[in-house]
Chain A
Amino acid sequence: MSSGPDVNMAARDEAPDLAPPASPMAMPEQVVERPRRAAAGNGLFSFLPIAMKRLAN
């Protein structure tokens, strides 16, 4: 099953007796990515100046 590309649709009327009964529950959005670091402190390159300093000392 796929659900196709996102398309805006007008509200649909359904026969009310077909609709599932409401019984809300929370479904909080999860974190799946590590927060991005600031551009200056990014990954390997942020390590480079520290390593250079150590080598210099």
Chain B
Amino acid sequence: MVQFRRFVSFLFAFTFAAIAARLAADVFLSDGFDPLDVVRVLLLAATSAWIAWGASLALQGVLAPMPVAKPAATAPAPLEADRIGVLVPVYNEDPVHVLSRVHAMAWSLHAEGEGTRFEFVVLSDTRDEAIAAEERRWMQQLRRDGPPAMNFFYRRREKNTGKKAGNVAEFLRASGGRYEFLVILDADSLMDGATLVEMARRMEADPRLGLLQTLPKIIHARSWFGRAIQFSASFYSPFFARGLALLQGRTGPFWGHNAIVRTRAFAESCGLPVLSGKPPFGGHILSHDYVEAAMLARNGWTVRVDPDLEGSFEEGPDNVIDFAKRDRRWCQGNLQHARLIGAPGLGPWSRFVFVQGIMAYAASPLWLVFLVASLLAPVVAPEPNYFPVPRMPAIFPTPETAQAVALLVGIFGLLIGPKLIIASHAAWTGTARSFGGPFAVMRSTLAEILWSSVLAPVTLMFQSRSVAQVLLGRDGGWPATNRDAGEIGMREAWAASWWIVLTGLVMLAASSVLETGLLFWFLPVAMPMVCAPAIIAWSSSRASGVSAARKGLFLTEAERAVPRVVLACEASRIRWQGGGMSAPSGGTIADQPASARNAVA
């Protein structure tokens, strides 16, 4: 069945690409043949196939009645594993923020009656001495405030070789033998205790399951930009993930965090080598998670994403610049996978996952080259031949407007269609209620479509630059993501995007000079580029986020009914920040929501 679904998805993508290529050929060749037209048709076919592939994932996710990977054991039996480690790798993050999440997760596990089986291990790669001192101080506080008989460990590396993957590997080699399973988190991860227990239960139920990935929902977004991403991750992503789950078979994804691994499987399969040569293509493997998933599958272990697992959260960037910085790192990591596509022993799907990751970034420069080629096409177009047959009446080239419109409608249909279908599906099935009701969901979806259309040319430029930098051999490094970044002012936004403004202006000028008809087509792309600084600055502001919330836009489940573990985390953080080192009043997680509400209020 998995093979059949994959075949249908590929067929869908290739069929759409073929239709798009045919329509494009009709449109581009209507004024005669030139080599640039061939380039444009090929680029459009490639990018259309990519869009159609994404749409097929969403459609399969919508059409699927239930996730494909059903847990083998759902009865709430006690766990058998003696010890499960929860790894929290940190790098210069605010210790209070990180450890308040750990505190909330610990109490949540305690409430599930499985607290003593789980041990939290903070793996610090922090380079800043002052922050490291704070980490140790707050770890002691965590030990005092945490549930009784629960272990909390902390270790800091001398050298942060291999970054996060090296951090986890070093811990595994030193202490991994103690744990049957390891939950791998990020510094901003937050997971419900019941989810952690259920993940361990599913691992126990399937002895060949090497890794189980959850679908984290974004929380705590404050700006318009952050809230739009938060809504997308909560509302659309489960359908895309479900579509992915239907195609994954035993070769599912690993997204680097909010996942559980079988320690033995991970240790025997995921020792990452250092690639020969220098970065960006050599050196340490940056996007290690994709590679680890492929290596587990290569050794016969099942890797699975279960989108039905709720209670898994993370935070996201609140502005375009932080998003672009993160994207720059991911881009470099994914392009580095070009060296691993031919790795010995990998399954075809694992190789295809690498191709998908590369295409996620390569699509932007392909679109950009297509735009530039379209701009230049009138310049290199051959002189029209009105008399192809001698002594016969003149034949004027037809503009093939109908085909152009059909092409545009098809591409936009694939881009926005899945989102509208998901919104309609939510309204029809009643799941829209937890997002504010069908009306709110439809308004949020339309606003998100409009917003992502405005933002698309800006992200296209950032991604194209990232790909160019990597191909030119520039190593982007791994600067820490500033998740608590404030608003972006116009000055900072201008400094980050002046070159996008310039590109937009050149596009507008060239399209109006070279052929007046082109200006109309280029306006939706070039205008957001010209307005990039204003878009970046405005969408990063708290005011824009508050305004969206007041209008009822981008509401999520986790906002409308804040999960207990999120409330508990906020309560811990506020108490620690406000009350210094004073011990909490004690009690169980059951007491936490009320105290959280009071604290937040």
Contact = CB atoms under 8 A, between A and B. Distances in A.
Interface of A: 1-12, 14-15, 18-34
A53 to B, nearest CB: 27
Contact of B176 (A11, A27, A30): A27
A40 to B, nearest CB: 19
Contact of B154 (A4, A8, A18): A18
Contact of B477 (A5, A8, A9): A5
A13 B474 CA distance: 36
Contacts of A22: 174-175
Contact of B127 (A4, A14, A25, A27): A4
B128 to A, nearest CB: 10
A7 B156 contact: no
Contacts of A28: 268, 271
Interface in B253-277: 257, 263-264, 267-273, 275-276
Given A7-B160, A8-B159, A27-B173, A18 B478 contact: no
Residue of A12, A21, A30, A32 ringed by the most chain B CB atoms within 10 A: A32
Contact of A33 (B159, B161, B269, B340): B340
B63 interface: no
B153 A27 contact: no
Across the A-B interface, the 3 shortest Cβ-Cβ residue pairs: A3-B163, A23-B177, A23-B178
B560 interface: no
A3 B136 CA distance: 18
Given A2-B480, A10-B158, A33 B263 contact: no
B480 A4 contact: yes
Contact of B343 (A6, A11, A14, A33): A33
A7 B127 contact: yes
A21 B121 CA distance: 11
B187 interface: yes
B176 A1 contact: no
Contacts of A12: 132, 156, 158
Interface stretch (B88-96, B236-244, B499-507): B88-96
Contacts of B217: none
Nearest to A10: B158
Interface residues of B, number: 66
A4 B160 contact: yes
21 contacts: A1-B90, A2-B479, A3-B164, A4-B92, A6-B161, A6-B163, A7-B160, A9-B127, A21-B175, A22-B174, A25-B264, A26-B173, A26-B267, A27-B172, A27-B271, A30-B272, A31-B343, A31-B344, A32-B275, A32-B291, A33-B276
Contacts of B174: 20, 22-24
B89 A1 contact: yes
B3 to A, nearest CB: 26
B498 interface: no
A20 B268 CA distance: 21
Contacts of B127: 4, 7, 9
Nearest to B176: A25
Nearest to A9: B158
Contacts of B478: 2-5
A55 to B, nearest CB: 28
B187 A1 contact: yes
A18 B91 contact: no
A24 B91 contact: no
B556 to A, nearest CB: 23
Contacts of B162: 3
Nearest to A5: B477
A18 B270 contact: no
B271 A30 contact: yes
A19 to B, nearest CB: 5
Interface string B147-185: 000001111111111111011010111111110000000
Nearest to B273: A29
Contacts of A30: 269-273, 295
B91 A4 contact: yes
Given A2-B480, A3-B89, 14 more contacts: A1-B89, A1-B186, A2-B164, A3-B125, A4-B477, A4-B480, A5-B478, A14-B156, A18-B136, A18-B153, A19-B155, A23-B178, A25-B173, A27-B169
